[in-house]
Structure 1
Amino acid sequence: MLLYKQKKNQVAKGKRFLLSVTVLGSAGPIRFVVNEEELVAAVIDTALKSYAREGRLPILGSDLNDFLLYCRNAASDAISPWETIGSLGARNFMLCKKPQHLKAADDGRSTAAFAQKGGSGSWKAWINKSLNLKISPRWISYILIK
């Protein structure tokens, strides 16, 4: 009788299953095998690495703290990064970027830094800052039209 010997590099912890992660804005899902005891944060990290390795667009980045994972079968809140993926009983997930206001709250930065970052891209703010004057938007529109 021949006995099955487990390979040295293969881990025998828990069940493994095929996971499908759809990235919001991407063409199709990413599929990979995970251990049921893996944390959601590790699944997000693996999905981001697979996404980048495949050269998919749009480019997302690699910081797993900028993303949320949702279960596609249930309309619910984002899954906690500290939960195990097997405890959810689902195999299909959606990966989305965190909204800007959630990123600022999670980073622990002050709201002033967030407000400054948000206003710096406005052309009205640039004109006001450049001229060091408070010009009303009505006058800016008038100047640009003429």
Structure 2
Amino acid sequence: MLLYKQKKTQAAKVNRLLISVTFLGSAGPIRFVVKEEELVAAVIDTALKSYAREGRLPILGSDLNNFMLYCPIAGTEALSPWETIGSMGVRNFVLCKKPEAEKEKEKANESEKLPRKGSGSWKSWFNKSLDSKISSH
């Protein structure tokens, strides 16, 4: 009996929140329970899975890197994926797709890290294309 009471009090220390996530362009919010210490990235992942499970439209996809979570009360900055969801002190959020320009910046940063394949010179490509089109007499 004593062990049962200890487990019950330890479980009670974990704070849980009922949050509401509104998807831009969708009919209404999704509500689910999360732990206060859960990361924003995990909340985005859970929200996308719930959205897909319910068969909502428009179809958004499941890659959490393509989305940003906003807190309408806190301002216009998106929440960092490494923040805890309880750090904001609010329970209503908006999930939006990242703008195309931001996705391209991320891809450019990734491509700078990778070594380039081929010569990479536009001049050499241009000369090769001209050589193939010009026929000798």
Q: How far does residue 39 in structure 1 lie from its aligned partner after superposition? A: 0.5
Query: What is the TM-score with the length of structure 1 in the denominator?
Result: 0.66
Q: Any residues of structure 2 matched to 1:17-96 within 5 Å, and which?
A: 17-96=17-96
- Number of residue pairs the alignment of both structures matches: 109
Distance 2:27 2:6 in 1: 40
Distance 1:46 1:12 in 2: 23
Residues 61 and 83 of structure 1, relative CA distance in 2, 3 Å threshold: same
Higher radius of gyration, 1 or 2: 2
Aligned letter for 1:30? Answer: I
For residues 2-28 of structure 1, give each alpha carbon's deviation from its aligned partner in whole angstroms, at most 9, with x where no partner exists: 964748xxx666310101000000000
Which has the higher mean CA deviation after the structures are superposed, 56-65 or 12-21? 12-21
Q: How far does residue 71 in structure 1 lie from its aligned partner after superposition? A: 0.1
Q: Is the Cα contact below 8 Å between 1:21 and 1:31 reproduced in 2?
A: yes
5+ residue gaps in structure 2?
A: 113-137
5+ residue gaps in structure 1?
A: 112-146
Distance 2:14 2:44 in 1: 19
CA RMSD of aligned residues (A): 2.6
Distance 2:6 2:23 in 1: 38
Q: Percent identity?
A: 70
Distance 1:54 1:79 in 2: 25
Residues 72 and 104 of structure 1, relative CA distance in 2, 3 Å threshold: same
Query: What is the TM-score with the length of structure 2 in the denominator?
Result: 0.70
Q: Is the Cα contact below 8 Å between 1:19 and 1:91 reproduced in 2?
A: yes
Which has the higher mean CA deviation after the structures are superposed, 68-77 or 34-43? 68-77
Residues 47 and 13 of structure 1, relative CA distance in 2, 3 Å threshold: farther
